[in-house]
Structures are given as C-alpha cells and as structure tokens.
Amino acid sequence: MKKQIIIALALLVSSFSFSQKREIRDAEKAIKKSNFAEAKSAINAAESLVGNADDKLKAQFYYVKGQAFYANGTGTDADMDVAIESLNKVAEVEGKNGKYSKDVQEIKQGMINSFLTKANAALEKKNFSASSSGFEKAYKMSKSDTLYLYYAAATAVNGEDYETALKHYEELKNLGYVGVETEYIATNKETNEEEAFPSKAMMDISVKSGTHVAPTTRKTESKQAEIVRNVALIYMNQGNDEKALEAMKDARAANPDDASLIISEANMQLKMGNRDKFKTLIEEALIKDPNNPELLFNLGIVAAEGGEVEAAKGYYEKAIKIKPDYADVHNNMAVLILSQEQAIIEEMNALGSSAADNKKYDELKDERSKLYEEAIPYLETTLKLRPTDLQAAKTLVNIYSALGNTAKQKEMKAKVDALESGQN
C-alpha cells in the first residue's frame, strides 16, 4: 500500500511539472508574438505550482515571467516591478553563471537604459514623481549602482514626495552611501571648455581622436551632508523635531569637522526658533571655515536682529571684503544703517521750539543726512549687482530727495519708472 501511495504522489508531482512546462512554453510562444497579455495569463496559471518545481524549472519560469511583464518596455509601472523582481530571482535560483544569466543581463541592461532615459526625460519636464520612479526602478535592477537611488531620493524631494524621499535616504544611510564619484574630465579643443565623460574609456577615445585635450580625473564632493540635511528637514516638515535633531546629531558625530553639517544644524535650529543656538553653531562653523562669507552674512543678520549694530556692521564688512559682489550683504548693510534713522526722527519730533531745541534739531538733521550718505554706496552697489531691485531704487530716490540732490533723484526716478513699467 505504501509503495502505491508513493507512486501516486510521484505521478501527481510529475503532472504538476508537465502542466508548468506546458504553460511556460505557451508563455514563450506568446512572447515571441509580442502577445504579452496572453503570456502573462499563461504565467499566472503556472504561478501556484512553482513552489514544487526544481531549480531548473524555477529559473525558466522567472526568466519567462520577467519577459512577459516587461513586455519590451511597454508594461505598466506595476508590471515593471514584477518584471524586476522576477528577473532578480533568476540569479537567486540558478546563480550568476546559470543558463539564463547572459540573457537576463541583456534584458536587465535594456531595462536600466529604458528607465534612465524615461527618468531623465521626466526630469527635464519637471515631472519629478515619474523621474523618481524611473531612477528607483533602475536601482532595483542594479543594486550596486547606489547613485540611482540617490537620484530617486533627490527627485522625490523636488516633487515634495517626502515619504518616498525619506525611505530612499534612510536606505542610503543604512548602506553607508557617501556619494563620492570619480569624474573623467577633458577640455574640448573647439570650445575650450571642460567636459565630463561617463567613463575613462570614453574620455581616452575623445583625447586620441584629437577633439579633447588635458584629460584628468577628480573626485566629487561627498553627498553625505546633503542626505542627512534632507532627512532632518523632512522630519522637521513632518513636525518631528526630535528625530530631526537625532539625525543631525548622528551625522555630526560621524563627521565632526564637516562645516556644512554644522551649518545645516544651525539652519535647522533657526527654523525651530532657536536663534541663540543658531548663532553658536554659525560661530563654530566660522572657526572651521573663517573665510566663508555666507557664515559672516548670517552672523550679521543675527546681530542686527539683536540690536547689535556695530557687531553686525563688522560681520557684513568682513563678508564684503571676502566677496565684494555679494549683493545681499550690500543691501543688508544699507538696511542696517538706515534702521538707525527711526531713533533720530523720534528724537527730532520730541523737541520743542527753544533755541537749544532748534540747535539740537539741526544737529540731528545733519546726523540723519550722514546716515543717508553712508547708506548710498551700499544701495548703489546693490542696484549695480541687481539691476532690477525696485526697492533699492525707490530707497535711493527718497534719499536723494532728502539730501536735495535733484539730478540724482531724477535719474533714479527714471530708473524706478522703467522698472515698474516692465513689471506691468
């Protein structure tokens, strides 16, 4: 009796295997005819039996399933995910050098190229969701190419899909992704401009052909600070300040000398309303990077808002010395100088009509004029660097009028009129 039962079960398994093979063959025939709907139907019919198949048949099944759902690039997003999973399972079942390895690699490379092409096209059209999805799929096809996952996260941020971006960033963090890449650079002889190549081989070909000269390589900057900053900002956006600070703390501990991380934490503290902590961190960053005009500019803002006029001036002056064309600093310096006018006006208005008061009034008027004269160069530079800055132009009109400089007033009024007409 036992022998009969064993024979019966063996026959049953054999019939399952035969059924699977037939359905897989039907799927293969449908794929050759580009009838992918029929191929998917045949594959779905065999799906429930795949667990009983041997590795050889499993590898064939997943290979054919991947082709059926990929549908030569015409499958839906959901179908593509199924195709990726199926083709990846082929290697899991038969190893890297199995019967289908070469064919699978060719299909996967075609899929990767297709995903990247569509992702880049979507990015150009600012369709960030589609772009992120394409880069994510390319990464799933080639897990060693973590740069694709980084692009998926970055484009998700641009599309304000913070949940997806956070998922990708957390995976990058867990992978220890740094993002330092080797760039292959050569100078185009015709344009005399540097151009980047995707590989050393491509660069060498261009140099040998004579179209490019001065080949060189260089390392890109680490993306770790950017990733941690974005993770923290996403947590902040979600109202989870505790996790945001924790993410930044971990990054600072791992990269204690990275000034950009200090600045990121400072900005985060500022968003949380912690101005004193912001100032402390910016001062810490300035020690590591003393010639950073951005840091000096920010310290100037904090000092100005705290009523520390001379300290703010000192920071702004240092920033201008380092970066003379920093328009925002010139503008803020003018605003800082003119902010002292209100106290003078209030004192003037509080005076009486005695001889002493009249004398004091004239002194204050002269003091106010000196403020105007001090602010003019900064406003003029702001307007020179930002020719369409309407507010700077209007302020200059008022100052020239107050100083009695009619010629300059008329000249600047014409500038204001031209700017305002251009906005209508």
* CA separation for the pair 191, 232 (Å, rounded): 42
Beta bridge partners of 212: 188
Q: Does residue 63 or residue 360 have the better pLDDT?
A: 360
List phi, psi (to 5°) of 212. Answer: -135, 155
- Tokens 């490379």 appear where? 109
Extents of the domains making up the chain: 20-175, 182-219, 318-424
Please tell me the predicted confidence (pLDDT) of residue 42. Answer: 81
- Nearest Cα residue to 378 out of 389, 363, 367: 389
- Tell me the pLDDT band of 337, cut-offs 50, 70 and 90: very high
State the pLDDT at residue 366: 93
Q: Spell out the CATH class of 20-175.
A: mainly alpha
Residue from 145, 137, 82 nearest 114 by CA: 137
**Confidence band (pLDDT; 50, 70, 90) for 171?**
very high
AA identity, residue 84: I
Strands 194-197 and 182-188 come out as antiparallel
What CATH class is the domain 318-424?
Answer: mainly alpha
Tokens of 255: 């990269």
- The whole-number pLDDT of residue 13 equals 39
In this prediction, residue 20 carries a pLDDT of: 56
Kindly tell me the burial class for residue 362, based on how many C-beta atoms sit within 10 Å of its own C-beta (0-12, 13-18, 19 or more): exposed
Q: Which of 49-63, 234-248, 372-386 has the highest mean pLDDT?
A: 372-386
Q: Could you tell me which residues come within 8 angstroms of residue 83 by beta carbon, excluding any fewer than 6 positions away?
A: 65, 66, 67, 68, 69, 70, 75, 111
User: Is 75 a residue whose pLDDT tops 60?
Assistant: yes
Asked whether this chain's domains 20-175 and 318-424 adopt the same fold, the reply is: yes
Q: What does pTM read for this prediction?
A: 0.57
- Would the pLDDT of 14 be above 60? no
Q: What is the mean pLDDT of the chain?
A: 85
How far apart CA 203 and CA 252 sit, in angstroms, is 37
DSSP string, 313-371: HHHHHHHHHH-TT-HHHHHHHHHHHHTTHHHHHHHHHT--SSHHHHHHHHHHHHHHHHH
Window from 41-50, 76-85, 228-237, 337-346 with minimum mean pLDDT = 41-50
The pLDDT tens digits of the residues spanning 84-128 come to: 888 888 888 887 778 888 888 888 888 888 888 888 899 989 999
Q: What is the DSSP letter of 53?
A: S
Look at residue 183 and tell me whether its pLDDT is greater than 60. Answer: yes
pLDDT at residue number 370: 94
Give percent of the chain above pLDDT 90.
Answer: 38
Whole-number pLDDT of residue 19: 52
